[in-house]
């Protein structure tokens, strides 16, 4: 497969295997790339092309994001059997965190402020951009979150839920549907990364004022406050949570306004998406533990939001 790109001698190693399989490709000239083998049926050709177009624009405008590498034939995506694959630049850097583990950053507040500014830059650039004809990405709108067939599954009636969880999550879904309908006009919607968890945000060792963003596979049209909820969701148990939450929002609002009055609702709904996602992957390594973490997080976030919503 790699002979379709002009790379010379290479050494590859597995980095991650989830929705896509990711390999590090180290070249003899010291250059390095990420080879992404796409999961069959997960994204259409048009969605993959659109993701790459978007990343090209963001990189051109100065954000530190991966850029696609074309083959000798000028292609950005190749077919390998049933799979599609692409090669993008490798970005060095230390992830700012690992999901569900305490942060070990020297300046967590400062880094989350930078992340907030970076998310705002991504949104500003995306709003100013005129995408090419045929651009298409998934949607994280109300239907995708709490409609009849959510993008990541019906979290309120997943197999194996206890009756109390099913009742609580149904309450969340029903209340969120009403609240989204009532507040939709005030909520900012546009292109979002949609997966700014710690593993996808890299510290720039050469420039401490910047972070790099990787893994745009979940990038979508969605609520901008959902972006903030995703960046915070895996850190709610961290002792610094309130500090980094404030820093992330402050950093974002330095560059563009954002209504965060519905953030707690989106924290709960975002947590619930992982319940639906995990329920379909219980047979994967670590699947049961992931599902239980998602349940705990959703119970807690739902209780927090419904308590204030029902007052």
pLDDT tens for residues 127-139? 999 999 999 999 9
**pLDDT for res 145:** 97
**pLDDT for res 191:** 98
Distance (Å, whole) CA 55 – CA 100: 28
Residue 100 in this model has a pLDDT that exceeds 80: no
**pLDDT for res 173:** 97
**pLDDT for res 116:** 98
pLDDT tens for residues 218-276? 999 999 999 999 999 999 999 999 999 999 999 999 999 999 999 999 999 999 999 99
Phi, psi of 237 (to 5 degrees): -90, -5
Distance (Å, whole) CA 230 – CA 266: 9
**pLDDT for res 160:** 86
Stretch 14-39: mean pLDDT, rounded? Answer: 93
Stretch 98-109: mean pLDDT, rounded? Answer: 88
Of residues 18 and 173, more confidence is placed in 173
Domains of the chain: 2-91 (3.30.200.20), 95-309 (3.90.1200.10)
Stretch 107-132: mean pLDDT, rounded? Answer: 97
If DSSP codes are grouped into helix, strand and coil, which group holds residue 294?
A: helix
pLDDT tens for residues 174-228? 999 999 999 888 899 999 999 999 999 999 878 888 999 999 999 999 999 999 9
Task: Give the DSSP per-residue string, 159-210.
Answer: TT--HHHHHHHHHHHHHHHHHHHHHGGGS-EEEE-----GGGEEE-TT-TT-
**pLDDT for res 228:** 98
Contact present, 263 and 229 (Cβ < 8 Å):
yes
pLDDT tens for residues 154-165? 999 998 899 999
pLDDT tens for residues 31-86? 999 999 998 888 999 999 999 999 999 999 999 999 999 999 999 999 988 999 99
């Amino acid at each position: 497969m790699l002979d379709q790109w002009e790379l010379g001698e290479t050494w590859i190693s597995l980095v991650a295997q989830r929705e896509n399989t990711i390999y590090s490709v180290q070249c003899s000239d010291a250059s390095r790339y990420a080879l992404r083998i796409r999961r069959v049926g997960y994204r259409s050709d048009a969605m993959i092309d659109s993701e790459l177009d978007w990343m090209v624009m963001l990189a051109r405008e100065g954000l530190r994001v991966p850029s696609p590498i074309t083959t000798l034939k000028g292609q950005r995506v190749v077919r390998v059997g049933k799979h599609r694959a692409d090669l993008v630049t490798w970005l060095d850097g230390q992830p700012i965190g690992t999901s569900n583990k305490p942060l070990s950053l020297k300046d967590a507040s400062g880094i989350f402020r930078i992340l907030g500014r970076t998310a705002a830059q991504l949104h500003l650039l995306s709003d100013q951009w005129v995408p090419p004809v045929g651009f298409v990405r998934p949607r994280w709108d109300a239907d995708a979150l709490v409609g009849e067939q959510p993008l990541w599954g019906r979290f309120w009636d997943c197999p194996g839920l206890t009756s109390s969880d099913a009742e609580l999550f149904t309450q969340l879904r029903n209340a969120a549907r009403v609240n989204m309908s009532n507040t939709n006009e005030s909520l900012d919607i546009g292109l979002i990364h949609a997966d700014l968890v710690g593993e996808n945000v890299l510290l720039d060792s050469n420039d401490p004022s910047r972070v790099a963003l990787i893994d745009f596979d979940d990038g979508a049209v969605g609520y901008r406050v959902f972006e903030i909820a995703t960046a915070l969701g895996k850190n709610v148990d961290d002792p610094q949570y309130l500090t980094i939450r404030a820093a992330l929002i402050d950093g974002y609002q330095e560059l563009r306004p954002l209504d965060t009055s519905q953030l707690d609702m989106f924290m709960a709904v975002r947590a619930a998406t992982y319940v639906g996602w995990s329920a379909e992957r219980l047979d994967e390594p670590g699947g049961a533990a992931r599902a239980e973490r998602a349940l705990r997080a959703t119970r807690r976030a739902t209780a927090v939001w419904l308590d204030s919503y029902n007052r």
